Structures are given as structure tokens and as C-alpha cells.
């Protein structure tokens, strides 16, 4: 049976209806779930997916001992005719996320103790403890605040300043979970020891009510308190002999035995405002939580003594944290990147330039104004981005200098542009709806739609774009696509087969976005240009096709191809969203930290496969102009082992 599914196309900007198999959502959910990564975690207690659990139990000979109840725990009934005949005396759960409580662990435990288990039952895990460490970090703080941006012009230095509302805004309410082990120690200064903030004993009644926990400490260094790094550990048994820790390497009891995980990482929390701290001068770090979220504050006196009103859960009221995610903040604050656009603008701007800027929440319009454009228009398609840009223009006294239009750019009229023809069309390009690198090709479709508004000899920047690829060996990320086979003595091939069927349904032919600065890998080939796109011309009506092969120059296991976009602002100035450099000898990769790259996994990788493998990777890549989709297929040749 087929069903029609509506989707907003991030590349063309249109809403389209597609005919899909009725189980498409089901297959997609399984294929992208990374369940295999959880089972590869040797420390972890887990509950398999319900629809595979029955078959796995049966295959392993436990059908007479294990009953699968396919319900949320709060819906389980008790009694002779219920799901459970009596209350349990052991509670085994896995309800945790990177923040510990973000998946509803507290209310679920609270309900279980009240309705499903005996008093004084044993719980596995037995206890969890949340830890925190206060740091100063310009890099991490740049993920939360807009920094002043200097612009060197012919009239001297101009500075783009953030609005007051943005400076005082406490930020987004959600935690930023990342692979903290990939943040260089040079990027932050430790201001406190690791502090145990609070613990939860899962064998006793748990409360989901809001609470706070304070820890007095003396800073180990003076500096600006900006960020709280946090993680947790769980003790499986009452004695704490079996422990599973999410600590980063510098705080781990045994860094050599550090277990890689992608389902549980570490947390970055931003204080509402940065505060100075002095080495040796005692202060209090306070962890607040409700039933689902954790946040932190810094206080000079004991919260218990002064009985002050505790800070509420942070909520963005400046619009910026709703429009820009954390990597986008970092991208806008990257002065080197800004200088690239400034340099390119200097080469294309003229005193009589009429500019139209098309990118979501971009500062390009301010750069164009400061660098001497006669008139600047900018288009914001959402109410949130429109309000934010109005605030930024007002803070910089440009509200009557830059014309902001709240409209989808495809719908622009001559009246919107005051009857003028555009001589310079600008884009970063960046659009909030983009998930994969090539989704920002929406700029090309906008360029095509506004063609009638471009004057003779109009310049488009970027002039062109190109799609690039490199074959890599991942240090760890391959685990999310690797079959488990056997897990702690249990045969879970049934789940492997289910995931493989879901992947074969479609996902095996699609790339998925990953921020690869968090996931170390080695280049096995040199980067190769695959497709080019000429923004100086409208989108062509015909397919853009490329096929060829990539030669592998380093030994290793070919886990997949990584793809990214490069935007050529001018012939001499390129903004790279992907591979910035690779070490010549080992091939270690350095990726753009502000962007997600696209990963096309070759197969469900087998870590035991021999080194070596294919000598070449063949590819076919097509850009479909009517849908904006890029389809691709990569195949390995001269493979030593099909499982590789």
C-alpha cells in the first residue's frame, strides 16, 4: 500500500507530495536510530526494541522466563488479570539521555515506585551521580552569545554590536550535548575541580519535583565563569563496584579504558551571564532541575541561607537562540570567516551598488552597508528572523539604512525593491531549514526566482559552488552502522537483520548529517570535486550528472564517503564547509567546526575485517533540478572482505 506524504523541500523551498510505502516512517526511524551503537557499549544495561525483543527472547530460549509488555511503564496494569501478577522486587531500567533526566527518567521512576515495585526493592542501575566543572572558554561562549564584529572600511573601523536584549538573554533552555573529548584543552580554562552536584538512588522513592543542589567551592584559577561542563556516572550495584562513567578523559578514572559512546555524551551548559571569579574566593555552583531539564547558576552566598528565589529555567527572549543554533552562533562569531566575506565584498562592491541579501538571519547586509553599498535590501522569510534583524539594525543605528523585507524571496515584487534593479545578489548561503550540505542550494533557486529583478551585468556572490567527497576510515562512528551479532552472550542477529532491512529500504542510498569535528577519522583518499553549480546562471532544466572513481592512497577500512560544499565567493575566495586539511602522513582530518558534513556509509562495517580493502571507490552522483535532490551511489572494488 502506498501513501502520500507532504514535505517541505529544503533545497527548492517548495512543499511537495511524495508517494511513499506505508512503512516508510517505521523504516526511517529504525535506520537512523543508532540502536547498534547502544549495544556496542559494553558497560550499558539496555532494553531492546519491543518488536524485536520477543523474537530475540525466543531465539535465546527464554520465552518461558521473560514476558515482553509492549507498553509505556505508566500504562502497565497490576493484578491477576493485569500485565503483572504482583509488584516486582527488582527494577531494571534504561531511561537516560546525555543529561540523565531528559527522557523522563524521574517521573518514570516515581511512578514505578508508587505502582510497580515493592518497597525496598533493588534497582539496576542502583544510583546515578551528576558532576559539573566550571570553565572559561571563548570558543564555547561563542556558541551562546554574539560578539562584537569589527569591520575595517575606508572610513575607519566600524563595529557591529549585539542588541542589549541579546546580551542579557539567558539563552536557549536546552542542553548542548557534544563529544567533549574532541574539544581541545587549549580551548578552555578550568576554574573549578570536578564537583559532584547531586545523586539519585533508584532503589528508593524518586521525586520528579523541581529541586536545586548547591556546592560551595574555591576556584582553582581566576577568570570569567561562562560555561559548566557536566556528565554523570551510574553505579550498577549497591556497593558501587560496577560503574559506568560518562566522564571526559581528563576526569575519567581510567582514561586508557575510555568507552566511546554516541548515545550518551557530555553536556555543555551556559551560565545566564559571565561572571568574574577569583582564585581561592569561595562561591556556590547551583544545579537546578525540573522533571526533564537541568540548568546552572553561580551564587556568591549560600542559597540555603539567603532563601533567594532560584533562577527559573532559562528561556530565550531575544529571538537569536530560537533562530541560530549553537554551531550557527560559532559561525557568525568566526572572525576569519567574516573577513573572507569582507575581502570578497571589497572586490565586487561599487559606490552605486544596490544589494539584495538572501540568507536567514545573516549579517551580510550590515557588511555590505559598511563597505559602501548605495542601498541594501535583505529578505527574511520568518517572523523570528525578521524581528531579530530589526533589533540588530536598531542596535547599530541602521534601521533606516537597510531595508528589511519579511517575505519569502521567491515572492519578491518590484515594489518591494522600490522599483530598483539589483546589481549585487548576496548569500552566505545559510538557511535554517538546511540539514544536508547541499540543501543551501536553495540560494540557487532564489537566484532563479529573482532573475527578473537583476539588472544588466548583475553580480551574484557566491559565483559558483562545488560538491566534494573523500573516502574515510572512522575511529568510532562506524559503530552506529555495525552489526552486533552477539551481545553479552545473547544472540541479537534478529535486530541486526531488522536494521539492515530498514537501511536497504532507502537509507543505505542516502547520506546523513554529522558534525565530523566530533568524530575523528582518517582520509584514505585525496578530496575530489564531484559536481559544480554556477549561480551566475539560473538553475538548468536538465540533470547534472557525474560519475567516476576515487583512488585510495592510504591503507585502512573504507567506512564511507564524506561530502561537503564549497562556495566560491569570487575566483580567489572560497568558503569551505567541510575538510579544511588532512595530515599528509596519517591522513587525520580537520573539519569545519561550524557545519555538519554528509556521511554516506558503504556497509555495516565489521571492525574485525582485515586492513587494506578496495583500491578504488566508484561513484555516480546526480543533481535533480526539479526536486533539488542529490542522489548518489558509491561502490567498492577489489574488496578483500564483504563485511569490510
Distance between CA 167 and CA 272 in Å, rounded? Answer: 10
Using CB atoms within 10 A of its CB, is residue 547 exposed (0-12), middle (13-18) or buried (19+)? exposed
H or E stretch including 272?
strand 266-277
Q: How many CB atoms lie within 10 A of CB 252?
A: 17
* Mean pLDDT of successive 10-residue stretches along the chain, which has 644 residues: 60 63 50 51 53 86 92 93 96 95 95 96 97 98 98 92 95 92 97 98 96 96 98 96 95 89 95 96 96 94 70 88 96 98 97 97 97 97 94 97 96 97 98 96 97 97 98 94 86 83 67 97 96 98 96 92 98 97 84 97 61 78 95 79 42
Q: What is the pLDDT of residue 492?
A: 86
Instruction: With beta carbons less than 8 A apart as the criterion, state whether 531 and 466 touch.
Output: yes
Q: Does the active-site annotation cover 103?
A: yes
Sign of the alpha-carbon torsion through 211, 217, 223, 229: negative
Nearest one of 516, 513, 546, 522 to 633, comparing CA atoms: 546
Angle at 49 between CA 45 and CA 54, to 5 degrees: 105
Q: What is the CA radius of gyration of the chain?
A: 27
User: Among all chains, which residue has been given the C-alpha cell 542542553?
Assistant: 175
Nine-digit cell at 225? 565563569
Residues 6+ positions from 61 with CB-CB distance below 8 Å: none
- For residue 94, indicate whether it is catalytic: yes
Annotated catalytic residue, options 19, 20, 58, 94: 94
- The span from the CA of 460 to the CA of 442, in Å, is 14
Using CA atoms, how far residue 192 sits from 184, 188, 221, 228, in Å, is: 18, 12, 7, 10
Residue 543's Cβ-count burial label (10 Å; 0-12, 13-18, 19+) is exposed
Angle at 179 between CA 178 and CA 182, to 5 degrees: 125
DSSP H or E run through 335: helix 335-348
- C-beta atoms surrounding 207 within 10 Å: 13
Cα(602)–Cα(582) distance, integer angstroms = 21
Say what the alpha-carbon torsion angle 18, 23, 27, 30 is, to the nearest 10 degrees: 130
Please tell me which residue in 20, 103, 165, 406 is annotated as part of the active site: 103
Give the three cell numbers for residue 430. Answer: 545559510
Cβ neighbours, 10 Å, residue 643: 15
Burial 528-537 (b: 16+ CB within 10 A, else e): bebbebebee
Cα 198 from chain centroid (whole Å): 27
Amino acid at each position: 500500500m502506498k501513501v502520500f506524504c507532504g514535505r517541505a523541500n529544503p533545497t527548492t523551498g517548495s512543499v511537495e507530495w511524495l508517494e511513499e510505502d506505508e512503512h516508510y516512517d517505521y523504516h526511517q526511524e529504525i535506520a537512523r536510530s543508532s540502536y547498534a551503537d547502544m549495544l556496542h557499549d559494553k558497560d550499558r544495561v539496555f532494553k531492546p526494541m519491543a518488536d524485536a525483543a520477543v523474537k530475540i527472547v525466543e531465539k535465546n530460549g527464554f520465552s518461558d522466563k521473560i514476558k515482553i509488555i509492549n507498553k509505556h511503564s505508566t500504562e502497565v496494569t497490576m493484578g491477576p488479570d493485569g500485565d503483572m501478577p504482583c509488584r516486582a522486587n527488582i527494577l531494571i531500567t534504561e531511561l537516560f539521555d546525555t543529561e540523565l533526566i531528559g527522557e523522563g527518567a524521574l517521573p518514570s521512576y516515581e511512578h514505578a515506585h508508587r505502582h510497580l515495585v515493592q518497597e525496598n526493592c533493588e534497582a539496576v542501575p542502583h544510583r546515578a551521580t551528576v558532576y559539573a566543572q566550571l570553565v572559561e572558554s571563548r570558543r564555547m561562549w561563542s556558541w551562546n552569545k554574539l560578539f562584537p564584529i569589527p569591520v575595517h572600511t575606508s572610513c575607519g573601523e566600524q563595529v557591529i554590536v549585539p542588541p542589549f536584549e541579546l546580551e542579557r538573554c539567558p539563552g536557549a533552555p536546552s542542553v548542548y550535548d557534544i563529544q567533549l573529548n574532541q574539544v581541545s584543552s587549549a580551548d578552555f580554562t578550568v576554574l573549578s575541580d570536578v564537583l559532584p552536584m547531586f545523586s539519585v538512588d533508584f532503589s528508593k522513592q524518586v521525586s520528579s519535583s523541581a529541586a536545586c543542589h548547591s556546592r560551595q567551592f574555591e576556584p582553582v584559577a581566576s577568570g570569567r565563569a561562562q560555561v559548566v561542563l557536566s556528565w554523570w556516572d551510574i553505579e550498577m550495584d549497591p556497593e558501587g563496584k560496577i560503574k559506568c562513567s560518562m566522564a571526559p578523559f581528563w576526569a575519567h578514572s581510567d582514561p586508557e579504558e575510555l568507552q566511546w559512546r554516541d548515545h550518551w555524551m557530555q553536556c555543555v551548559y551556559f551560565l545566564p551571564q559571565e561572571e568574574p571569579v577569583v582564585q581561592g574566593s569561595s562561591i556556590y555552583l547551583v544545579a537546578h532541575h525540573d522533571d526533564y531539564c537541568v540548568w546552572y547558576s553561580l551564587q556568591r552566598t549560600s542559597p540555603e541561607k539567603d532563601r533567594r528565589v532560584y533562577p527559573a529555567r532559562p528561556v530565550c527572549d531575544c529571538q537569536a537562540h530560537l533562530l541560530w543554533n549553537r554551531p550557527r552562533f560559532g559561525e557568525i562569531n568566526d572572525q576569519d570567516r567574516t573577513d573572507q566575506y569582507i575581502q570578497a565584498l571589497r572586490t565586487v562592491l561599487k559606490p552605486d551598488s544596490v544589494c539584495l541579501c538572501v540568507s536567514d538571519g545573516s549579517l551580510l547586509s550590515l557588511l555590505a552597508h559598511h563597505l559602501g553599498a548605495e542601498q541594501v535590501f535583505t529578505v527574511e522569510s520568518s517572523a523570528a528572523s525578521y524581528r531579530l534583524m530589526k533589533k540588530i539594525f536598531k542596535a547599530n543605528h541602521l534601521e533606516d539604512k537597510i531595508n528589511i523585507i519579511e517575505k519569502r524571496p521567491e515572492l519578491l515584487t518590484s515594489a518591494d525593491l522600490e522599483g530598483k534593479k539589483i546589481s549585487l545578489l548576496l548569500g552566505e548561503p545559510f538557511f535554517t531549514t538546511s540539514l544536508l550540505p547541499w540543501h543551501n542550494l536553495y540560494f540557487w533557486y532564489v537566484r532563479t526566482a529573482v532573475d527578473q529583478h537583476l539588472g544588466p551585468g548583475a553580480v551574484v556572490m557566491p559565483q559558483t559552488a562545488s560538491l566534494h567527497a573523500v573516502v574515510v576510515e572512522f575511529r568510532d562512528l562506524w559503530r552506529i552502522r555495525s552489526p552486533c551479532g552477539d551481545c553479552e552472550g545473547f544472540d541479537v542477529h534478529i535486530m541486526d537483520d531488522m536494521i539492515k532491512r530498514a537501511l536497504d529500504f532507502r537509507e543505505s542510498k542516502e547520506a546523513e548529517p554529522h558534525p565530523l569535528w566530533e568524530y575523528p577519522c582518517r582520509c584514505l583518499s585525496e578530496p575530489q570535486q564531484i559536481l559544480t553549480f554556477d549561480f551566475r546562471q539560473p538553475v538548468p532544466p536538465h540533470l547534472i550528472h557525474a560519475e567516476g572513481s576515487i583512488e585510495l592512497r592510504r591503507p585502512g577500512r573504507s567506512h564511507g564517503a564524506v561530502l561537503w560544499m564549497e562556495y566560491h565567493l569570487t575566483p580567489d575566495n572560497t568558503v569551505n564547509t567541510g575538510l579544511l586539511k588532512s595530515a599528509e602522513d596519517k591522513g587525520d582530518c580537520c573539519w569545519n567546526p561550524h557545519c555538519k558534513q554528509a556521511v554516506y556509509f558503504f556497509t555495516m562495517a565489521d571492525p574485525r575485517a582485515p586492513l587494506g580493502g578496495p583500491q578504488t571507490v566508484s561513484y555516480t552522483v546526480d543533481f535533480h533540478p526539479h526536486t533539488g535532490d542529490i542522489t548518489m551511489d558509491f561502490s567498492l572494488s577489489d574488496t578483500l572482505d564483504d563485511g569490510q
